[in-house]
Amino acid sequence: MPPSEPQPVKLRDIAEAAGVTIATASRSLNGSYGVNPSTRKRVLEVASRLQYRPNRLARGLVTGRSQIIGLIISDIRNPFFSEVARGVEDAAYSAGCDVVLCNSDLDAEKQNRYIASLMAKRVDGIIMNSVTALRETEQEQLAQSGVPVVLLNKSFALSEFSTVSADNERGGRLAAEHFLRMGHRRLAHLTGPRQHGNLTLRAKGFTQAVREADPATSVAVLHGGHTLAGGYAMALKLFNEKQDVTAIFAANDAVAFGVLKAAMERGLRIPKDVSLIGFDDVDFASIVHPPLTTIRQSKYDIGEAAVSILMRLAKGKDKSPENRVLGVELIERESVRKLN
Amino acid sequence: MPPSEPQPVKLRDIAEAAGVTIATASRSLNGSYGVNPSTRKRVLEVASRLQYRPNRLARGLVTGRSQIIGLIISDIRNPFFSEVARGVEDAAYSAGCDVVLCNSDLDAEKQNRYIASLMAKRVDGIIMNSVTALRETEQEQLAQSGVPVVLLNKSFALSEFSTVSADNERGGRLAAEHFLRMGHRRLAHLTGPRQHGNLTLRAKGFTQAVREADPATSVAVLHGGHTLAGGYAMALKLFNEKQDVTAIFAANDAVAFGVLKAAMERGLRIPKDVSLIGFDDVDFASIVHPPLTTIRQSKYDIGEAAVSILMRLAKGKDKSPENRVLGVELIERESVRKLN
DNA sequence: CTGAAAGCGCTAACAG
DNA sequence: CTGTTAGCGCTTTCAG
């Protein structure tokens, strides 16, 4: 008879084989306090010989913790999020947790379904890039569910959520100052939807810095999709309507790549005809032509930080929300030209 | 008193509230056979009113299925894998499963730890990009564990594994034929490590097609990292040692981007001085300068297909392994020049 | 059609 | 230091 379905070995098996009860077996494995060293050694040996794998579902059922954290992002194909995800996963791995991946497309219904599903799995925590798509009651419910939540943007809504984000406002300022320094006076900013927390802050930093430095400088702000396609569309529109603009600040690198594409099609040269700054510094920023000047934020670190906050929250001791802001820096490459 | 930790409502609660026993409550929720429609209706109402979320750990403990599938890939930051992951996640979502993300960096120890951890969670299946890093005994053990496994490359090892992959060999042929058609006779192929199943097949298709068509045509094959950095290094080496090569087939787009970078630094123009074909057709292939001619494989579909096989396997009925091969196509853009 | 009861595999008091 | 026991929340026979 073929051993088709190998019965997984359970605690009882190793207890019997080691000549102890299931309780001491458990204690030995979990390294808790009082167990005779020699007994423990024996149990451990048997366990490894039999390749014992504790059933985490059973353990989770009694402890109430699943060693799983949920990661709800817009789309893993976005290089920004895949880098964040890697940071999350590495940190979670170190902490002995698994991460379940959820792509929400920023859709409220999907987000709600994912949240429900994660809670049903009794996850130890949830990392979400944004909750702005949710209704206030839904946000409140989430905040009060008892499950630790870390957001990847500064929430304008409930302050009960912990957050981790780059210093978006400062990033916007850096872009503005660079353009100004390089002699540009007719600027444009291509950004995403108005509700987007991170992008709104970038826009705010950018426009404010311009206004403070030189009220005469003009800055046209276009809203659109914060994707390559969105950047492409906005750039096309801009090139049609505002032909005097000399410098564009894109809300993120993807949008900047869209600008690059549109410019190439229109026969506009970057930075000769128009200068460009992105935001994120994704891998490809240094590969495209011309290499993109951009605001770097440490995506990996954001993911890592989110997990570290989650772990503190999950420990149960200190439940107070934390808002961590990570630094940004201007990476000068070749997409900005000095005027005059 | 503050309702700090809202006790999750459980089956018993809704049973009581509906005036039935926990058993009929369960039956009503799970839509199984015999339950009085009116009873069921009542239970369902109470459940939704109380926002009942069945504890999946408990359910999993008794059913033996967790509704979780594991995805072990090299690195989610690789655009190829992030696209696959999206396909996996979408398909899993439709099937009511969650996916836990594991980045192995192709490291054997990490892979083993992830496998162990996933089995401990009693996952319904595992999707892995490759098992070639594992020892034969480890592979065998995995194959016999009873957990359905789908690989993302044609395994040369155990044939017990199901696999999903693009038609890599044909992709290599397409590249070769295109170069030949365009008049190139001094070719190079920049590929990854020798054990890499998918890449090996691409190389095989490429070199064989060349040999069959014209034995006089030379093709230099370099091995290196199958990443941007690897492509960069290999290209530099190639430009130093084989200056007469007119066309390069990169094992994937990342490698091709590395070639682009190296060429730019060396002042070589693509496709004027040297032609280039990639493999994958990641998003950025159409954005880089020049837009990259490449072999497209449907990454999203690969992920989707992997899940569909997994689901069949998990159903338990038909356990026979399946090897699915998806089509590829040449996407002509601007990185290949016609000679003469 | 519905209720009672036996666990799924494990942890955590509580005794000894 | 170790054994006994009571569940965690749910599904699933087996009776009624």
Residues A47-87 have pLDDT tens digits of: 888 888 889 999 998 888 899 999 999 999 999 999 999 99
> What residues of chain A lie within 8 A of the CB of B98, using their CB?
100, 102, 117-118, 121
Under the banding of pLDDT at 50, 70 and 90, the label for residue A23 is: confident
pLDDT at B243: 87
CATH number of B11-54: 1.10.260.40
Q: Which of B59, B76, B99 has the highest number of chain A CBs within 10 A, making it the mutation to test binding with A?
A: B76
pLDDT of residue B32: 63
CB contact A254 to B (< 8 Å): no
* Residue A171: CB atoms within 10 Å: 27
* Secondary element (H or E) of residue B164: strand B162-166
Residues with Cβ < 8 Å from B49, sequence gap 6 or more?
none
The 3-class SS string of B117-129 reads HHHHCCCCEEEEC
For residue A2, is pLDDT > 60? no
Q: Which of B213, B163, B209 is nearest to B189 (CA)?
A: B209
Which of B309, B307, B326, B339 is closest to B94 using CA atoms?
Answer: B307
Q: What phi and psi, each to the nearest 5 degrees, are found at residue A295?
A: -95, 120
Domain with CATH 1.10.260.40 in chain A: 11-54
Residue B99 near residue B89, CB atoms below 8 Å: yes
B168-297 adopts what CATH topology?
Answer: Rossmann fold (3.40.50)
Q: Which residue is nearest to nucleotide C3 (CA to C1')?
A: B21
Question: Does A90 have pLDDT greater than 50?
Answer: yes
In chain B, CATH 3.40.50.2300 covers 66-167+299-327, 168-297
Instruction: Check residue B159 and give its pLDDT.
Output: 74
DSSP string, B228-285: HHHHHHHHHHHHHH-TT--EEEESSHHHHHHHHHHHHHHT--TTTT-EEEEEE--GGG
Q: Is the C-beta of residue A36 closer than 7 Å to nucleic acid chain C?
A: no
Q: Which of B208, B212, B235 is nearest to B222 (CA)?
A: B235
Residue of A nearest to B113 (CA): A93
> pLDDT per residue over A199-221, tens digit each?
999 999 999 999 999 888 999 99
What is the pLDDT at residue A4? 45
| Cα dihedral B114/A300/B296/B92 (nearest 10) | 50
Residue A8's pLDDT band, with cuts at 50, 70 and 90, is confident
For chain A, how long is the longest CA-to-CA vector? 86
Q: What is the pLDDT along chain B (340 residues), one digit of tens a residue?
A: 334 456 788 898 898 888 888 888 888 888 767 778 888 888 888 888 988 889 999 999 998 889 999 999 999 999 999 999 999 999 999 999 999 999 999 999 999 999 999 999 999 999 999 898 889 999 998 998 889 999 999 866 667 899 999 999 999 999 999 999 999 999 999 999 998 889 999 999 999 999 999 888 999 999 999 999 999 999 999 999 988 999 999 999 999 999 999 998 899 999 999 999 999 999 889 888 899 999 999 999 999 999 999 999 988 777 889 999 999 999 999 999 999 8
pTM for the model stands at 0.91
B51 touches strand D (CB under 7 A): no
Are B122 and B152 spatial neighbours (Cβ–Cβ below 8 Å)? Answer: no
For B89, which of A56, A79, A101 is closest by C-beta distance? A101
Q: Does any strand D atom come closer than 7 Å to the Cβ of B26?
A: yes
A193 strand C contact, CB < 7 Å? no
pLDDT at A127 over 90: yes
Average pLDDT over residues A243-257: 96
What CA–CA distance (Å, rounded) separates B68 from B96?
9
Q: Token pair of A288, please?
A: 């495209």
Residues A299-315: what's their mean pLDDT? 95
Report the gap between the CA of B145 and the closest CA in chain A (Å).
Answer: 6
- The string over A38-71, giving b where at least 16 C-beta atoms fall within 10 Å of a residue's C-beta and e elsewhere, is ebbebbbebbeeeebbbbbbbbbbeeebbbbbbb
Residue B62 CB lies within 7 Å of the nucleic strand C: yes
Contact A74, A252 (CB under 8 A): no
Q: Which amino acid is at B103?
A: N
**Which chain A residues are within 8 Å of B82, Cβ to Cβ?**
76-77, 79, 82
- CA closest to C1' of D13 belongs to B23
Residue nearest to nucleotide C13 (CA to C1'): A23
Q: Does domain A66-167+299-327 have CATH number 3.40.50.2300?
A: yes
- Nearest 10 degrees: CA dihedral of A51, A57, A58, A63? 120
